[in-house]
Structure 1
Amino acid sequence: MRVRVLIFLLMLPLGAAAQGFAGLGTDADGFAVPERGQALAFPRDHGAHPAYRIEWWYVTATLTGADGRDYGIQWTLFRSALAPYELDGWQSPQLWMGHAALTTPDRHFVAERLARGGIGQAGVSADPFEAWIDDWRMAGPGFNMLDLQARGAEFAYDLSLTAQGPLVQHGDRGYSVKSQDGQASYYYSQPNFAVTGTLTLPTGPVALTGNAWLDREWSSQPLSADQNGWDWFSLSFDDGTRLMAFRLRGGRGDFTSGTWIGADGSATPLPDGLIEVVPLDLTGVAGREVPTRWRLTLPDKALSVEIEALNPQAWMATSFPYWEGPVRVTGSHDGKGYLEMTGYD
C-alpha cells in the first residue's frame, strides 16, 4: 500500500507514536488531506506536494544477474513536512530521508541518508523528472524512462528503467482508503518497468536484467489511531498480470485493499475483505519473530499462492526499522515480487 514510512515518527511531535503506527494516525492539523474525486494530473503529480505532511517515491525491483543469481533492490525518497509550505534555505520545513537496499539470497545491504529541504541537498522536480538526496538519483526526460543510482558502504547500483505499460491509479482513481474510518492517501504506481544495469558488490560488478515497480503516495493522516502495522505485497505474475495488496493491522481487526492489474495495464480496485493473507512461517529476525512465508488468496481472480522471502533476513536497520525484500510466488500464479512488513516489534 506504500503507506509505509516509519521515518516520519522522527518529524512528528512527541507523543505522536500513540497515534497509529509511526504517528501516521495523527490529526492532519492544518495540512491538506486527500479528497475523493480530485483527479490526479501528470506530470505535475510526479513532483512534491509540500502542503501534505508525508510523501514518498518508492522503487523495488526483482532482478537476475549474469551470474544466474536472484537479486532485489530498493530505492526510496521520503518527504515529511513540519508545516504545510516550502521556504528557501534553512527555514524550509521540509525534511527528507533516503533508503537504499540490495538483497541477495544470503546478504542484505542497507544505506540511509538524511537531508533538510530548501538547500538543494534533496528534492524532486516534476518535469523533467528528478528525485535526489545527496548523490542518489532517480531521473529521466519523463516518468517512463528513468535512471536510478544509489550506493552504500558495501554496494552500489546503476540501473535504467523503461516503462512497459500505463500508470495505475489505486482505489477510486487514485484515492486509496486505508481504514474503516475512511483515512486515505493519493496513490498511483508504475508497476511495469523493464530494468537493465549493473550492481557492485564486494566481490565485483554484476550485470542485471529484470523488472521494477515504482509507487507514489502522499497524505497527511493516512491511518487510524489504532492501526499498528501493515503487510504490503507487490506481485508480478508470469502471465503478465500483477497484484498490489495490503493488510493494515489494528485494534478493530484487519483492513485489506489492493488492485488487480491486467496484462494490458487495466486496473480493478479490490475493496476491504476481498483479499486474505495468512502468515505460514515465522523467522527470527533482528531479535523479533517476522512472517517470511505467506498464503494469499483472492477468490474473485481464482488466485491462491504461497509467497516466500528470497532472504528471510532482509531487515532494514534504519532509523525506524522494518522488513523489506524480494519474494518468490508459487501456486495458481507463479511469479516474483516484493514484501514490506512493519510493526513487528
Structure 2
Amino acid sequence: MSDRLKISRRAFAGGAVVLGLGSSFARAQGFAGLGKQADGFATVVPGKAFSFPADLGPHPDYRIEWWYVTANLTDSTGAAYGAQWTLFREASRPGPQQQEWANQQIWMGHAAVTRADLHRFSETFARGGVGQAGVEAKPFQAWIDSWEMRGLDAMNDMTIAPLELSASGADFSYALRLDADHPLALQGEAGYSRKSERGQASYYFSQPFFKVTGHITIDDKPAEVTGQAWMDREWSSQPLAADQTGWDWLSLHLASGEKLMLFRLRQTDGNDYASGNWIRSDGGSEPVPPAEIRMTPMALTEIGARKLPTAWRIEIAARGFAIETIALNARSWMGTSFPYWEGPISFTGSHSGVGYLEMTGY
C-alpha cells in the first residue's frame, strides 16, 4: 500500500470510502460514522471483566477499535521528538466473520514523527482475511504491511511489556523498545468509558508507564532517543452521540510520576462532555468527575482554512491542578484521509511534564 494513500485513532477514516460517508458532518465524526446507529454490532455495557492477554487481541463483533502508541522522546543533545504508531480496525458490516477477501474487516495504520521544525506522517490500508494486517493476542503481535508492534519473549500480559515498535514512511522510520513495570490502567469506570450522558461508551484501558529506548531516522539521519510512551486500547460500536462533532484529548506524563488522561467531546449545543482519569504513580486509576474538568483554549494555529486550539489551560480545582500546555510543533497536522491534529506537548504550572494532544473534527 502507498505511504501517502491519504486516515485517526479516534478519527479513523479508511472505511468511510467503503461506507460512503462523504458529508462534512460524517467527516467530523471520523471513520465508520462513529455517531451512527450500530444495529447488529456488540454493545458496550458497564461491568465488563477484562481478561489478558485476550483483550489485547481484536474484538470483531464491535464496529471499531484501535491500538495506539504515542511517545515523548529526546536525543543525546536534549532535542525533543514525538512518535505515533496506530492500528485501527473497522467492521464494514456486522455478522459472522467471512473468510479471505470476503472478510468485512478494514485495517488502517498511521505513523508519524515530530520535531520542533518538522512533522512527518504516513498512512496505509489493508483488507482483513488475507494476512496483510491483523492482531494476535498471544504471542502479542499487531501489524499492517511492514509496520509492527510485537511482544518480546519475556512479555508480561499484565504490563504489555517489553514490546518492539517499528514503522516507516517515505522520509522517516523508527524502531523503539518499550518497557514497563506497572500494570495496565483501566480508564473511565473500571474500563467503561462514557462518551455522553445518553449511553455512548467504549471499553478503554491504557499502559501509560512505558519507558522507551531506540532510534528515529529522518531524511536518512538517525538519532538515538529515550523517553516515555503511552499506549491506548479502546473498542466500541457507537462511541459518539449523533450531535458530537469531535474531541480534544490529552495524555499527560507528570514529573511526579503520575499520569492524567482527559478528553472533551464537543457537542453542537455547546454542552461539551468531559471525562478523565488520574493515574497514581503506583498505577491505580481514579475517575475525574466531569464537573471538575475545565479545558480552555488559549491560542489558535491556522492550518489551511482551519483554526485549531494548539495551546490549552487545563484545570482540576479539587486536585489543585492548573497547567498551560505548549505544542512542540503547532503544525502537527495529520493530512490523512480524515485529517486531524496530533502531536507532542509540554506543560507548566502547578505540575510540569510532557504528553500528547489530539484534536479531531476541526
Letter in 1 for 2:218: L
Secondary structure of the residue aligned to 2:212 is strand
Letter in 1 for 2:115: T
Residue 34 of structure 2 is aligned to residue 27 of structure 1: no
Q: Note if contact 2:9-2:88 (Cα within 8 Å) is conserved in structure 1.
A: no
Residues 312 and 136 (structure 1), Cα distance of their counterparts in 2 relative to 1, 3 Å cut = same
Deviations 1:72-126 (A, max 9, x none): 0000000000123422210100000000000000100000010000000000000
Residue 224 of structure 2 is aligned to residue 216 of structure 1: no
Deviations 1:218-239 (A, max 9, x none): 0000110000010000000101
Q: Could you tell me how far apart the structure 2 residues matched to 1:4 and 1:124 are?
A: 18
1:173-188 to structure 2, matched below 5 A, reads 173-188=190-205
Q: Could you tell me how far apart the structure 1 residues matched to 2:355 and 2:284 are?
A: 19
Q: Note if contact 1:6-1:321 (Cα within 8 Å) is conserved in structure 2.
A: no
Give the drift of 1:11.
Answer: 4.5
Deviations 1:248-275 (A, max 9, x none): 0002311000100111111101232221
1:1-345 to structure 2, matched below 5 A, reads 4-7=10-13, 8-14=15-21, 18=25, 21-22=29-30, 23-84=33-94, 85-141=96-152, 142=155, 143-202=160-219, 204-252=221-269, 253-344=271-362
Residues 33 and 17 (structure 1), Cα distance of their counterparts in 2 relative to 1, 3 Å cut = farther
Deviations 1:51-90 (A, max 9, x none): 0000000000000012321000000000000123422210
Give the drift of 1:284.
Answer: 1.0
Q: Could you tell me how far apart the structure 2 residues matched to 1:315 and 1:334 are?
A: 25
Secondary structure of the residue aligned to 2:39 is coil
Q: Could you tell me how far apart the structure 1 residues matched to 2:188 and 2:259 are?
A: 15
Q: Note if contact 1:61-1:210 (Cα within 8 Å) is conserved in structure 2.
A: yes
Q: Could you tell me how far apart the structure 1 residues matched to 2:256 and 2:250 are?
A: 18
Number of residue pairs matched by the alignment: 343
Displaced runs of 4+ in structure 1, greater than 4 A?
Answer: 13-20
Give the drift of 1:5.
Answer: 2.2
Give the drift of 1:48.
Answer: 0.3
Aligned partner of 2:4 in structure 1 is none
Give the drift of 1:151.
Answer: 0.2
Q: Which runs of 5+ in 2 are unaligned?
A: 1-7
Secondary structure of the residue aligned to 1:63 is strand
Give the drift of 1:322.
Answer: 0.2
Residues 3 and 27 (structure 1), Cα distance of their counterparts in 2 relative to 1, 3 Å cut = farther
Residues 249 and 92 (structure 1), Cα distance of their counterparts in 2 relative to 1, 3 Å cut = same
Secondary structure of the residue aligned to 2:55 is helix
Deviations 1:122-164 (A, max 9, x none): 0000011000000000001432210000000000000000013
Letter in 2 for 1:192: F
Q: CA RMSD in A?
A: 1.5
Q: Which runs of 5+ in 1 are unaligned?
A: none
Residues 216 and 11 (structure 1), Cα distance of their counterparts in 2 relative to 1, 3 Å cut = farther
Secondary structure of the residue aligned to 2:292 is coil
